[in-house]
Amino acid sequence: MSTLSTALQTAIDGRWAHIREEARSELEPARFAPPAAELTLEEYRARVAAQLQLLAQTGHPARGLSKDLGGQGDYGASVTAFEMLGHADLSLMVKAGVHWGLFGGAVASLGTKRHHTAYLPAILSAELPGCFAMTETGHGSDVQSLGTTATYDPDTDELVVDTPTPAARKDYIGGAARDGRMAAVFAQLVTGGESHGVHCVLVPIRDEDGEPLPGVTIGDCGAKAGLAGVDNGRLSFDDVRVPRTNLLNQYGDIDEHGVYTSPIENPTKRFFTMLGTLVRGRVSVAGGAGAATRTALTLAITYAGHRRQFAPPGGAEEVLLLDYRAHQRKLLPALATSYALMFAQNDLVSRMHDVACAGGAADPRDQRELEARAAGIKAVATAHATATIQTCREACGGAGYLTVNRLPQLKADTDVFTTFEGDNTVLLQLVAKGLLTDYRDTFGDMDTLEMVRFGARQVAGSVIERTAARGLVERLVAAAPGRDAEEAVADRGWQCALFEDRERHLLETLARRLRRATAPGANAFAVFNEAQDHLVAAARAHVDRVVLEAFVAGIDACEDLAAKALLEKVCDLYALSTIEAHKGWYLEHTRITPARSKQVTATVNALCAELRPHAQDLVDAFGIPVEWLGTELLPQPQGRDAAAG
Amino acid sequence: MSTLSTALQTAIDGRWAHIREEARSELEPARFAPPAAELTLEEYRARVAAQLQLLAQTGHPARGLSKDLGGQGDYGASVTAFEMLGHADLSLMVKAGVHWGLFGGAVASLGTKRHHTAYLPAILSAELPGCFAMTETGHGSDVQSLGTTATYDPDTDELVVDTPTPAARKDYIGGAARDGRMAAVFAQLVTGGESHGVHCVLVPIRDEDGEPLPGVTIGDCGAKAGLAGVDNGRLSFDDVRVPRTNLLNQYGDIDEHGVYTSPIENPTKRFFTMLGTLVRGRVSVAGGAGAATRTALTLAITYAGHRRQFAPPGGAEEVLLLDYRAHQRKLLPALATSYALMFAQNDLVSRMHDVACAGGAADPRDQRELEARAAGIKAVATAHATATIQTCREACGGAGYLTVNRLPQLKADTDVFTTFEGDNTVLLQLVAKGLLTDYRDTFGDMDTLEMVRFGARQVAGSVIERTAARGLVERLVAAAPGRDAEEAVADRGWQCALFEDRERHLLETLARRLRRATAPGANAFAVFNEAQDHLVAAARAHVDRVVLEAFVAGIDACEDLAAKALLEKVCDLYALSTIEAHKGWYLEHTRITPARSKQVTATVNALCAELRPHAQDLVDAFGIPVEWLGTELLPQPQGRDAAAG
């Protein structure tokens, strides 16, 4: 690795660099690498289940648990280690995320001492493999409307868990098809005929021999596009009885007299508080998507750096793919965006860690901001993964289509990331609504019209969310050259101002638009529905701005001058290719002139050419162990003898 | 199927509607459906090999062969039947395409009577499974630079076929890994120390027992992203000897004295003439991509028409996914584009048929136009397939990720279409160069600078290629309201004018730009390279215009008034969503005002809402047998009993 790569790596490895280094050297790449041979579904599942046991022995999982529960309380380290698994085998990453992150996270965050004592040791050691049974066949995005019921029976002091309709069947549940022994089941909690909304109940689903317990019907989702090592399945409950104390009762409890109580009176607020404690899942998916994307870019850019095709007019030696502008255009702006997202992800993990460390003392505003940030970055990072891995596959032609070259599996494994842990389209709408109201958790109990009015009133004050670089960015924007200055496009302040402007305008016009829902006789649903794309665009603009500011902060913190100078160019490419992608909007809103728009495109081209000599350094800095990359896309030995191989 | 759907189907089934009907009823959907269970690579390959034999028995393959060679000379029927296989199993479609289309096509088009007599009967009956061995590890896009050699040995009157370097290994060759007995090998033909460029030689590769013949090393590409039923492999030749007469000698021959002769003196022109006879491959891939895309849209739109999520404010019943604007926006413009591409494909197949029927009497200009059209539509149709099938997967959430619901396999199988049978980026550049010079086959023997100058001089006259609807479109454009008229966006002439304008401007500026290569001291490669994206954009604009005009012609030919009226709306959506996608360009070039740009977006939204009630009719009209669609995405039976299933 070059000196420059090492310096770049230091800049992007971030606060938990030591964890990344540990994963690179101690995760035994050969052991945790994706399978080299074709495996059947059962073989792959068995392999990943065995790897999970190996991971348990490393002691890593205890990092994600607070100290008072017997863990190390190093949440950032836990999520960073998870992200590194994304360079290895994504099935293993998801399997680990389901068991420790979602199932273990539910027990730790939604449960109380009795659950912690009874289950956390066996969860940490993976002796009790668990499922997170939230999604149902009929409800995935709208989990508040789940159909599964958990009804308190005062005669036996038990909860009766039931699947009343086919649509209420738990579906796509990781761990359900093969390994899970216990499920954290989300169900409408009912006492004395009254529903208290969705709560989580621990339900054993298999006995010691792995057979389904009475009343539990287990189905298998079978083969999927990818993630073959994860045993997704289906769970139906036919009046399955569990002790009352199996209710994870942190935010809602039933006492021995059958009386329901909760520290949070409003059921919607209560539900979203419960969900909020699970924010680590979205942070982790965004991280895993980033890792997989960086693997794909490393493969495609390394390949394009030695693969030649077509001799130039009058030239003898064929041209390297990466010297073609069309090829640079495919890969280098995507690489710049991956850098930007890595800084944003590091910042997100850091916030998540700090909020988790603060525990009950955390500022509720920080928690809300973290949730919105996680939702937004998850949506943008996973969409970037889907598009970029696709581009990388195509940039490698037929070679990119072969399983041995990993790109097919990276594509297939990450494909579901855009729709699980929150569908991206739904998440971005949530982000926009959160920005408008700044009080997402009050949605449920406010009249819709009132909410819209409220949102519209709030917008001016809360549009520009805090980022680490806010002060710096404000100074840059203040010093930016005017719209018509020649040097504008290369000025960071000008770029930041354009990002801010797009976000602010989209939010302000959105607020005005939604206010129409308050007009007499207005169809509130129609108003919202017609503004749906506007909501998504506003959220997207917000995340773009947050990501750019994270990049600015990351450069500011970089101490190596050569790395810093190169990162400035990479940031230019991220900023300008983003502006170029939205040039229709900027021109439509007369934010840039046609001449400036053309200048942006010319500058993106020039930046691609400038960065091309450093492309290999930039991907080397991702520090992905060669065992996780070693494919036919890397340079191969040449010579006659190799032909027969 | 509704009356409207039936009328729509008549409009889009086109000239070979009877072949589509035959495939729907006689291809035995259950028999040719994608496999229901998980298969190993070997099981899938064996299944497809057996299906190929079944297809041989149907007599279909003889349609694609000329009457004088014992076939039916119904080329359009042959390609249409192939397209229908794209609704069934894409592995089978590609396997059939490799054997009959590419291998059989090479023997028929590049060979002469001796090859036709010796091999065509066994090729038609699939008793002699063949390979098309063109691509090498080192050369895919630039096949003129292949490394394999076929050297004439006058002592034995044989051709010696050899793989001189690892890069010259034949790679990704369908049929090579398991079933192929003979390969049509593309190699540099050498006689008396002189190379005559790439020619095709028949080389037996396996004996009767399926063992590799002496000197032939066969490798297996192993698992791929998709198309698991196609046995792609690698072939290396170590001085393998075949009779001189194994040279497919239509365009270049070696006589018994070892003297090389060819009816086409220029080697480049000769090579591209040979490639030109294989245009059917690209036409077929475009057709298969279209079929797969329509399957995906049918699944996603049908699902969105019964799947509900989230109750509206104040409403009890949850909203159907297809009633959400964001969901309409994802699926309906893609549906409109699929309609547009279907009309364009029908027109392309018809031209291909007519040129093939004319045989040697075909106008060379028609042949060149056909090749350019096939390259352009292949690139656009396969890119549309990749994007749309991805969108359909995401629109179905977790359900879309399950193999049982077919979307994963559609995505994985079609993924390679964007880069095989010509990489899309390379193809679009060819289209642009063809438009500029109008004489693609003179590229090789003209000085580069001369070529550029030539191209620049030609551009004015040859930009607007002929389409079936040209006269009609010219009348529409002439009658179009002015740029500032309120009603403009809904006017077909206005839309056509915008498409034409974008194409013409991009080509004219491209020609000017490339002329810079003629300046003293200019770096010709750098000039071309910097214009690469411009070439691609110009070609894309050209194809967009051709596709729109095919849609206009298709509507003009539709006799059912209700269907016609609906198709006009679908065409509006195609045209305006395309203009919207390029609004950055139109605004940058002041072709539309910001106000008009916003009006385009508003009209696209309105059209989505107008077409929403007809969405099911529009996909039903694709006429895909339910056996090829039957998945969990279609409406399922409801009720308590079904829950336990």
- Chain B, 32-91: which have a CB under 8 Å from a chain A CB? 38, 40-41
Q: Which of A96, A113, A130 is the last residue of a domain?
A: A130
Residue B547 to residue B578: CA distance in whole angstroms? 11
Q: Given CA atoms B337, B339, B340, B346 in this order, what sign does their dihedral have? A: positive
The reported pLDDT for the residue numbered A48 is: 97
The enclosing domain of B24 has a CATH number of 1.10.540.10
Contact A532 B169 (CB under 8 A): no
Using CB atoms within 10 Å of the CB of residue B622, give its burial: 0 to 12 exposed, 13 to 18 middle, 19+ buried: buried
Average pLDDT over chain A, rounded to an integer: 91
Cβ neighbours of B524 in A, within 8 Å: 312-314
Is any Cβ of chain B less than 8 angstroms from the Cβ of A316? no
Out of B171, B313, B412, name the one closest to residue A412 (CB).
B412
- Report yes or no: A377 and A548 within 8 Å, Cβ to Cβ: no
Between B174 and B464, the higher pLDDT residue: B174
Is any Cβ of chain A less than 8 angstroms from the Cβ of B640? yes
Examine the pLDDT at B464 and tell me if it is beyond 80. Answer: no
Confidence of residue A522 (pLDDT cuts 50, 70, 90): confident
Residue B402 to residue A543: CA distance in whole angstroms? 30
The reported pLDDT for the residue numbered B257 is: 95
Looking at the fold, whether A140 and A237 belong to one and the same domain comes out as: yes
Confidence of residue B435 (pLDDT cuts 50, 70, 90): confident
- Report yes or no: B510 and B538 within 8 Å, Cβ to Cβ: yes
The reported pLDDT for the residue numbered B276 is: 83
Angle (CA) A562-A15-A572 rounded to 5° is 40
Supply φ then ψ for residue B194, to 5 degrees.
-110, 135
Contact A587 B594 (CB under 8 A): yes
Confidence of residue A643 (pLDDT cuts 50, 70, 90): very low
> b/e map of B256-271 (b: 16 or more CB within 10 Å)?
eeeebebeeeebbbbb
What is the DSSP annotation of B322-375?
GGSHHHHHHHHHHHHHHHHHHHHHHHHHHHHHHHHHHGGGS-HHHHHHHHHHHH
Looking at the fold, whether A182 and A119 belong to one and the same domain comes out as: no
The overall longest dimension of chain B from CA atoms, in Å, is 91
Supply φ then ψ for residue A269, to 5 degrees.
-60, -40
Count of beta carbons in the 10 Å neighbourhood of residue B341: 27
Rounded percentage of chain A residues whose pLDDT exceeds 90 = 77
Cβ neighbours of A145 in B, within 8 Å: 310-311, 318
Examine the pLDDT at B441 and tell me if it is beyond 70. Answer: no
Give the SS3 label for residue A226.
coil
Residue B454 to residue B515: CA distance in whole angstroms? 9
Residue A359 to residue A362: CA distance in whole angstroms? 6
Residue A143 to residue A199: CA distance in whole angstroms? 11
Residue A62, amino acid: A
Looking at the fold, whether B188 and B171 belong to one and the same domain comes out as: yes
The reported pLDDT for the residue numbered A459 is: 37
Average pLDDT over residues B325-354: 98
Q: Which of B267, B292, B313 is the last residue of a domain?
A: B267
The enclosing domain of B241 has a CATH number of 2.40.110.10
Residue B118 to residue A221: CA distance in whole angstroms? 51
Beta strand ranges found along B176-264 (DSSP E): 182-191, 194-204, 216-220, 233-237, 240-243, 253-254, 260-261
Q: Is residue B139 part of a domain?
A: yes
The enclosing domain of A342 has a CATH number of 1.20.140.10
- Report yes or no: A170 and A148 within 8 Å, Cβ to Cβ: yes
Q: Is residue B111 part of a domain?
A: yes
The reported pLDDT for the residue numbered A629 is: 86
Examine the pLDDT at A462 and tell me if it is beyond 80. Answer: no
Q: Which stretches within A396-484 are classed as H helix?
A: 397-400, 407-414, 424-437, 448-462, 470-478
Domain that holds residue B249: 131-267
Give the residue from chain A lying closest to B537, CA to CA.
A326
Q: Is residue B57 part of a domain?
A: yes
Range in A86-95, A301-310, A371-380, A463-472 the model is least confident about:
A463-472
Looking at the fold, whether A405 and A260 belong to one and the same domain comes out as: no
Residue B197 to residue B189: CA distance in whole angstroms? 6
Examine the pLDDT at A432 and tell me if it is beyond 50. Answer: yes
Mutate to test the interface with A, among B237, B323, B415, B428 (most CBs of A within 10 A): B415
Looking at the fold, whether B60 and B91 belong to one and the same domain comes out as: yes
- The separation between the first and the last C-alpha atoms of chain B, rounded to the nearest angstrom, is 30
Q: Is residue A274 part of a domain?
A: no
Contact A529 B139 (CB under 8 A): no
- Chain B, 142-161: which have a CB under 8 Å from a chain A CB? 142, 145
- Report yes or no: A44 and A35 within 8 Å, Cβ to Cβ: yes
Using CB atoms within 10 Å of the CB of residue A634, give its burial: 0 to 12 exposed, 13 to 18 middle, 19+ buried: middle
Looking at the fold, whether A116 and A148 belong to one and the same domain comes out as: no
In the block, tokens 């009959």 appear at B100
Confidence of residue B637 (pLDDT cuts 50, 70, 90): low
Residue B195, amino acid: S
Examine the pLDDT at B644 and tell me if it is beyond 60. Answer: no
Confidence of residue A466 (pLDDT cuts 50, 70, 90): low
Residue A506, amino acid: L
Cβ neighbours of A525 in B, within 8 Å: 312-315, 319
Looking at the fold, whether A449 and A566 belong to one and the same domain comes out as: yes
Most confident of A440-444, A466-470, B87-91, B445-449: B87-91
pLDDT digits (tens, 9 = 90+) for A337-348: 999 999 999 999
- Report yes or no: B424 and B383 within 8 Å, Cβ to Cβ: yes
Looking at the fold, whether A87 and A139 belong to one and the same domain comes out as: no
Q: Is residue A19 part of a domain?
A: yes
In the block, tokens 């399957």 appear at B295
Q: Is residue B225 part of a domain?
A: yes
Residue A150, amino acid: A
Cβ neighbours of B225 in A, within 8 Å: 393, 401, 403, 407-408, 411-412
What is the DSSP annotation of A37-82?
S---HHHHHHHHHHHHHHHHHHTGGGGGS-GGGTS---HHHHHHHH
Give the residue from chain B lying closest to A643, CA to CA.
B166
Give the residue from chain A lying closest to B591, CA to CA.
A594
The reported pLDDT for the residue numbered A433 is: 85
pLDDT digits (tens, 9 = 90+) for B208-267: 999 999 999 999 999 999 999 999 999 999 999 999 999 999 999 999 999 999 999 998
- Report yes or no: B562 and B486 within 8 Å, Cβ to Cβ: no
Give the SS3 label for residue A28.
coil
In the block, tokens 């498409």 appear at B499
The reported pLDDT for the residue numbered B482 is: 76
Contact A167 B642 (CB under 8 A): no
Cβ neighbours of B165 in A, within 8 Å: 638-640, 643
> b/e map of B564-590 (b: 16 or more CB within 10 Å)?
bebbbbbbbbbbbbbbbebbbbbbbbe
- Chain B, 159-178: which have a CB under 8 Å from a chain A CB? 163-169, 171-172
- Chain A, 87-116: which have a CB under 8 Å from a chain B CB? none
Is any Cβ of chain B less than 8 angstroms from the Cβ of A635? no
The reported pLDDT for the residue numbered A463 is: 41
List CB contacts of B528: < 8 A, sequence separation 6 or more: A313, B514, B517
pLDDT digits (tens, 9 = 90+) for A577-614: 999 999 999 999 999 999 999 999 999 999 999 999 99
pLDDT digits (tens, 9 = 90+) for B280-325: 999 999 999 999 999 999 999 999 999 999 988 777 899 999 999 9
Between B400 and A522, the higher pLDDT residue: B400
- Report yes or no: A98 and A284 within 8 Å, Cβ to Cβ: no
Looking at the fold, whether B104 and B157 belong to one and the same domain comes out as: no
Q: Which stretches within B59-151 are classed as H helix?
A: 75-85, 90-96, 105-110, 113-124
In the block, tokens 């994870």 appear at A248
Looking at the fold, whether A220 and A299 belong to one and the same domain comes out as: no
Between B415 and B455, the higher pLDDT residue: B415
The reported pLDDT for the residue numbered A33 is: 81
Average pLDDT over residues B110-135: 97
Interface A–B counts its CB contacts (< 8 A) at: 245
Looking at the fold, whether A299 and A375 belong to one and the same domain comes out as: yes
Kind plus residue range of the DSSP H or E element containing A509 = helix A492-515
pLDDT digits (tens, 9 = 90+) for A109-160: 999 999 999 999 999 999 999 999 999 999 999 999 999 999 999 999 999 9
B115-B119-B124-B126 Cα dihedral, nearest 10 degrees: -140
- Report yes or no: A104 and A124 within 8 Å, Cβ to Cβ: yes
Secondary structure of A575-597 as H, E, C letters: HHHHHHHCHHHHHHCCCCCHHHH
Using CB atoms within 10 Å of the CB of residue B18, give its burial: 0 to 12 exposed, 13 to 18 middle, 19+ buried: exposed
- Report yes or no: B366 and B642 within 8 Å, Cβ to Cβ: no
What ipTM, to 2 d.p.?
0.95
Q: Which of B241, B267, B293 is the last residue of a domain?
A: B267
Looking at the fold, whether B204 and B106 belong to one and the same domain comes out as: no
Domain count of the fold of chain B = 2
pLDDT digits (tens, 9 = 90+) for A3-61: 999 999 999 999 999 999 999 987 777 778 888 788 999 999 999 999 999 999 988 89
Cβ neighbours of B224 in A, within 8 Å: 401-403, 408
Confidence of residue A302 (pLDDT cuts 50, 70, 90): very high
Confidence of residue B630 (pLDDT cuts 50, 70, 90): confident
Residue A274 to residue A195: CA distance in whole angstroms? 17
In the block, tokens 């438009």 appear at B435
Distance, CA of B576 to chain centre? 24
Rounded percentage of chain B residues whose pLDDT exceeds 90 = 77
Residue A400 to residue A304: CA distance in whole angstroms? 12
How many CA atoms does the CB half-sphere of B201 hold within 13 Å?
29
Q: Given CA atoms B343, B345, B346, B347 in this order, what sign does their dihedral have? A: positive
Q: Is residue A347 part of a domain?
A: yes
List CB contacts of B76: < 8 A, sequence separation 6 or more: B15, B16, B349, B350, B352, B353
Cβ neighbours of A587 in B, within 8 Å: 583-584, 587-588, 594, 597
Supply φ then ψ for residue A421, to 5 degrees.
50, 40
Residue B78 to residue B56: CA distance in whole angstroms? 13
pLDDT digits (tens, 9 = 90+) for A191-240: 999 999 999 999 999 999 999 999 999 999 999 999 999 999 999 999 99
Out of A141, A397, A415, name the one closest to residue B401 (CB).
A415
Q: Is residue A643 part of a domain?
A: no
Confidence of residue A465 (pLDDT cuts 50, 70, 90): low
The reported pLDDT for the residue numbered B645 is: 34
Kind plus residue range of the DSSP H or E element containing A524 = helix A524-530
